[in-house]
């Protein structure tokens, strides 16, 4: 029964694979829970910051803030004008086995880079996560900076480490724009890659009626202090959303893998049992045939 033994081997091996994918699914589920909590916990800060900046912002003030320096006229859409320089910060994960998660992010980044290049804008690429670094190194792209040490518990400090240097370059006019490519976390099943322009800052819109605040020292100084916080927070939020998206994508991918392993096992078991049954039937037929030959 050579075929039977072979089938048995395959069944064993797929059972092993299913055990692995199932435990990875469970690990991703518990990490997803924690990453999701972090996304939710980051919201009040972002909201409070947005509300106050929207309250204080006025177009007359805008010209005085380097971080609000809008692209010069002649630029199309939100892109810097031809001859300008933009930085793209791409967030990917360190580990794979998350379906098309990283591939989607990389594709979004390449589209953005191509769009910028088509507009005559020079680009520099900053990457977080082994998957993105590996890909762009493979195609031989120039990588301005890369980090792999952020992992699945990003802290607010990571956001500032990533963006502070770029923010200074922007203030010194060495950069005309900063884009960030990350996975937006809508739900565990919806984590679309998005490219967002972080610099120059797009002032948030005011919700509700304006209040007359006493301002200390004054609107200008408060904005000067808050705009960098706003930019850092945008990066921090992108980091936590990407981590949550990664775990969501991994859970989905591993669930699909576990289900597929189950389907294959069903087919293999059926084939195995059929082969075993056929062999038994054949053996019985042989015995009966033998006995009949003897008695006949």
Partner 1 sequence: MLKVSVISPEKVLYEGEASSVVAPAFDGEVGILTGHAPMITALGRGTLRVDGGAGNQRFIVEGGFLQVVDDQVRVVTEQAKAG
Kindly tell me which of 1 and 225 has the beta carbon lying closer to partner 1.
225
The H-or-E segment that residue 126 falls in is strand 122-128
Find, among 87, 138, 133, the residue nearest to 113 by Cα. Answer: 87
> Which residue pairs, CB below 8 angstroms and at least 24 apart, start in 135-139?
135/102, 135/106, 136/106
If DSSP codes are grouped into helix, strand and coil, which group holds residue 182? Answer: strand
Kindly tell me which of 195 and 219 has the beta carbon lying closer to partner 1.
219
Site mask for partner 1 (CB under 8 A), range 97-136, x = bound: ----------------------------------------
Under the binding rule (CB under 8 A), the answer on residue 56 touching partner 1 is yes
Write down the least CB distance from residue 160 to partner 1, Å.
8
Site mask for partner 1 (CB under 8 A), range 26-45, x = bound: ------------x--xx-xx
Under the binding rule (CB under 8 A), the answer on residue 233 touching partner 1 is yes
Under the binding rule (CB under 8 A), the answer on residue 293 touching partner 1 is no
Q: Pick left, alpha or beta for residue 173 (phi over 0 → left; psi -120 to 50 → alpha; otherwise beta).
A: left
Kindly tell me which of 49 and 86 has the beta carbon lying closer to partner 1.
49
Contacts of residue 289, defined as CB under 8 A and 6 or more positions apart, other chains included, come to none
Out of 7, 18, 25, 55, the residue judged to bind partner 1 by CB under 8 A:
55
Under the binding rule (CB under 8 A), the answer on residue 54 touching partner 1 is no
Out of 6, 78, 221, 286, the residue judged to bind partner 1 by CB under 8 A:
221
Out of 232, 248, 249, 252, the residue judged to bind partner 1 by CB under 8 A:
232
Determine the distance from the C-alpha atom of residue 68 to the mean position of all C-alpha atoms in its chain, rounded to a whole number.
27
Determine the distance from the C-alpha atom of residue 81 to the mean position of all C-alpha atoms in its chain, rounded to a whole number.
29
If DSSP codes are grouped into helix, strand and coil, which group holds residue 30? Answer: helix
Q: At 99, phi and psi to the nearest 5?
A: 65, -140
Site for partner 1 in 245-274 (CB under 8 A): none
């Amino acid at each position: 029964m050579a075929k039977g033994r072979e089938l048995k081997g395959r069944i064993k091996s797929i059972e092993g694979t299913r055990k692995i994918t199932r435990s990875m699914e469970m690990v991703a589920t518990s990490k997803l829970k924690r990453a999701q909590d972090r996304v939710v916990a980051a919201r009040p800060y972002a909201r409070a910051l947005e509300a106050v900046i929207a309250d204080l912002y006025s177009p007359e003030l805008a010209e005085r803030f380097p971080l609000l320096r809008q692209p010069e006229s002649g630029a199309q859409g939100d892109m810097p004008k031809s001859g300008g320089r933009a930085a793209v910060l791409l967030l990917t994960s360190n580990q794979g086995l998350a379906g098309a998660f990283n591939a989607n992010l990389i594709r979004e980044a390449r589209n953005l880079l191509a769009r910028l290049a088509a507009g005559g804008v020079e680009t520099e690429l900053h990457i977080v996560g082994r998957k993105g670094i590996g890909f762009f190194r493979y195609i031989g792209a120039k990588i301005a900076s890369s980090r792999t040490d952020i992992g699945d518990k990003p802290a607010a400090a990571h956001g500032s480490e990533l963006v502070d240097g770029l923010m200074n370059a922007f203030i010194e006019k060495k950069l005309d724009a900063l884009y960030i490519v990350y996975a937006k976390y809508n739900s565990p099943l919806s984590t679309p890659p998005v490219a967002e322009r972080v610099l120059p800052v797009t002032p948030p819109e005011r919700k509700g009626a304006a209040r007359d605040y006493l301002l200390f020292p004054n609107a200008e100084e408060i904005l000067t202090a808050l705009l960098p916080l706003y930019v850092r927070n945008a990066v921090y939020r992108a980091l936590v959303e990407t981590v949550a998206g990664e775990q969501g994508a991994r859970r989905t991918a591993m669930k699909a893998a576990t289900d597929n392993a189950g389907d294959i096992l069903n087919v293999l078991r059926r084939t195995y049992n059929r082969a075993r049954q056929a062999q038994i039937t054949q053996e019985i037929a042989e015995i009966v045939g033998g006995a009949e030959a003897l008695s006949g």
